[in-house]
């Protein structure tokens, strides 16, 4: 907890944070590099889905399964390569890992430029296989890149500036999430898939060029470098399981991923069945969510000047749960838009505060490994939750229509309500853990 004197000077500290942050060479280069790469990712994700569904396999009965294959190819490396990438990153020069992994991503995406001219030779299966392999290689290299970039942030940005750094990065990413997808479809249908793929490959090369200009202490700890790969991975898992703060953060992320997965899978059905709107209104809801997350991201550093980050994360879970339950009870669009934006505010705040708190709670030589395990567990929770949400609505809850305490419960809104209750329970569980661990002395 901060002293009264520190609290009294908090506004001026906040005002000076931005110029101090932008005076750091690592941030001045790393921030635009991340933006360029992220925008390329948004364009690429939409391009691949549209490419498969409209050009490679249009109108086939199995086209949805072919598109789902892209999602599986993207998620598999997080589960199976992520822990390996974390151990490798902690054992080798992190700057080199950062640059090589970004170059591999550029090469994997660039290789897809060969698919259209070779389409007649490759055939349908060959084209899909090439795309899936490229997506897997890109995301596998991305695991190395993300862990190395986290180490770079910890090494180049002082602890007191990290909340502001992640706030600006989070707000920018959410803005790109609004801008990127609408750009992807017109770009592909007017300029062609080659241009869309080329832009994404170029974005990786530009990011690599920018990051190569930053020099930082990237050599690994000598003791860590001498460890075997298997032991290095085990150390990463042990530090997560034996550190209460990390366990609490992991629980918070898993709960958030479960709620997000339920919304992503079932949202379109909630819009059409509960809100009685066209499916196209889902885009307006997504925009409201993005606005809320931007506001939450930007508010997080100021809130963290006054309250401990761990307690804010727990409170964010509680608020998210209450607003998600309120959203699940909506039957008309206007209140749904308001509550959907309100859900985004605490989620945006949580996203900003988690990484700096994690970096503060783990030794630098264990950062890559511990983060990799966290990403793997959260991705697994996301995949399981998406499958469970669809299965519950299609089987166990199918035909549910119950009135209780003046409210009507049907399959989709019941899943949303249950997700909201999970947020609240999670907040109540992690609050005392994080409060105790962050207590002074």
- 138: domain CATH number is 1.20.1250.20
Domain assignment present for residue 1? The answer is no
Domain assignment present for residue 120? The answer is yes
For 342-382, the pLDDT digits (tens) are 999 999 999 899 989 988 888 888 888 888 888 888 888 88
Do the Cβ atoms of 158 and 291 come closer than 8 Å?
A: no
DSSP 8-state symbol, 281: G
Domain assignment present for residue 3? The answer is no
Question: Same domain for 188 and 243?
Answer: no
Confidence of residue 3 (pLDDT cuts 50, 70, 90): very low
pLDDT for residue 143 is more than 80:
yes
Question: Same domain for 246 and 202?
Answer: no
Confidence of residue 13 (pLDDT cuts 50, 70, 90): very low
Least-confidence region, from 114-123, 157-166, 256-265, 299-308: 256-265
Confidence of residue 18 (pLDDT cuts 50, 70, 90): low
Range of the domain at 86: 16-211
Question: Same domain for 296 and 397?
Answer: yes
For 95-131, the pLDDT digits (tens) are 888 899 999 999 999 999 999 999 889 998 999 999 9
b/e sequence 347-385, b meaning 16+ C-beta within 10 Å:
bbbbbbbbbbbbbebbeebbbbbbbbbbbbbbbebbbeb
Grouping H, G, I as helix, E, B as strand and the rest as coil, residue 2 is: coil
Domain assignment present for residue 11? The answer is no
Question: Same domain for 291 and 411?
Answer: yes
Do the Cβ atoms of 369 and 83 come closer than 8 Å?
A: yes
Do the Cβ atoms of 13 and 301 come closer than 8 Å?
A: no
Domain assignment present for residue 228? The answer is no
Question: Same domain for 414 and 274?
Answer: yes
Domain assignment present for residue 2? The answer is no
Around 1, how many Cα atoms within 13 Å sit in the side-chain half-sphere? 8
For 242-264, the pLDDT digits (tens) are 888 888 888 888 888 888 778 77
Percent of the chain with pLDDT strictly greater than 70: 94
Q: What are φ and ψ of residue 132, in 5° steps?
A: -60, -45
Question: Same domain for 243 and 186?
Answer: no
Residue that finishes a domain, picked among 196, 211, 226: 211
Closest CA to 355 of 168, 216, 78, 175: 168
Q: What are φ and ψ of residue 157, in 5° steps?
A: -120, 120
Question: Same domain for 390 and 424?
Answer: yes
pLDDT at residue number 4: 35
Question: Same domain for 276 and 356?
Answer: yes
Question: Same domain for 304 and 360?
Answer: yes
Question: Same domain for 201 and 277?
Answer: no
Do the Cβ atoms of 89 and 151 come closer than 8 Å?
A: yes
Report how many domains make up the chain.
2
pTM confidence score = 0.80
Question: Same domain for 303 and 384?
Answer: yes
Do the Cβ atoms of 358 and 147 come closer than 8 Å?
A: no
Domain assignment present for residue 220? The answer is no
For 202-245, the pLDDT digits (tens) are 989 999 998 888 887 778 777 777 777 788 888 888 888 888 88
């Amino acid at each position: 907890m901060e002293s009264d004197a520190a609290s009294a000077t908090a506004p001026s500290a906040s005002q000076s944070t931005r110029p101090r942050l932008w005076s750091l060479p690592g941030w001045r280069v790393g921030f635009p590099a991340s933006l360029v790469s992220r925008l390329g990712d948004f364009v690429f994700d939409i391009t691949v889905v549209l490419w498969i569904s409209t050009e490679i396999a249009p109108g086939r009965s199995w086209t949805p399964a072919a598109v789902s294959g892209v999602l599986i190819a993207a998620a598999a490396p997080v589960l199976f390569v992520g822990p390996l990438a974390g151990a490798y990153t902690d054992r080798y020069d992190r700057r080199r890992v950062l640059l090589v992994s970004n170059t591999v991503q550029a090469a994997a995406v660039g290789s897809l430029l060969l698919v259209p001219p070779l389409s007649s030779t490759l055939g349908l299966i060959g084209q899909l296989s090439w795309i899936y392999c490229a997506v897997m290689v890109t995301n596998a290299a991305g695991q190395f890149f993300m862990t190395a970039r986290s180490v770079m942030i910890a090494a180049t940005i002082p602890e007191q500036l990290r909340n502001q750094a992640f706030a600006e990065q989070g707000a920018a990413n959410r803005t790109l999430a609004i801008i990127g997808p609408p750009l992807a479809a017109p770009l592909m249908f007017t300029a062609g898939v080659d241009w869309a793929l080329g832009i994404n490959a170029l974005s990786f090369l530009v990011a690599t060029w920018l990051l190569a200009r930053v020099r930082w202490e990237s050599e690994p700890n000598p003791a860590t470098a001498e460890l075997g790969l298997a032991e290095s991975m085990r150390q990463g898992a042990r530090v997560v399981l034996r550190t209460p703060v990390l366990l609490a953060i992991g629980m918070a992320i898993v709960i958030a991923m479960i709620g997000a997965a339920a919304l992503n899978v079932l949202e379109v059905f909630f819009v059409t069945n509960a809100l009685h709107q066209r499916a196209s209104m889902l885009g307006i809801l997504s925009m409201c969510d993005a606005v809320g997350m931007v506001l939450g991201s930007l508010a997080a550093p100021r809130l963290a000047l006054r309250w401990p980050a761990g307690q804010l994360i727990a409170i964010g879970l509680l608020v998210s749960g209450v607003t998600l339950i309120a959203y699940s009870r909506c039957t008309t669009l206007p209140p749904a838009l308001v509550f959907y934006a309100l859900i985004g505010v605490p989620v945006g705040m949580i996203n900003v505060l988690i990484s700096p708190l994690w970096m503060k709670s783990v030794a630098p030589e264990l950062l890559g490994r511990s983060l990799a395990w966290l990403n793997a567990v959260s991705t697994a929770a996301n995949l399981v939750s998406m499958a469970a949400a669809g299965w519950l609505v299609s089987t166990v809850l199918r035909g549910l229509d119950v009135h209780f305490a003046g409210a009507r419960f049907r399959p989709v809104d019941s899943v949303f309500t249950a997700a909201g209750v999970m947020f609240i329970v999670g907040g109540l569980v992690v609050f005392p853990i994080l409060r105790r661990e962050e207590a002074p002395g």
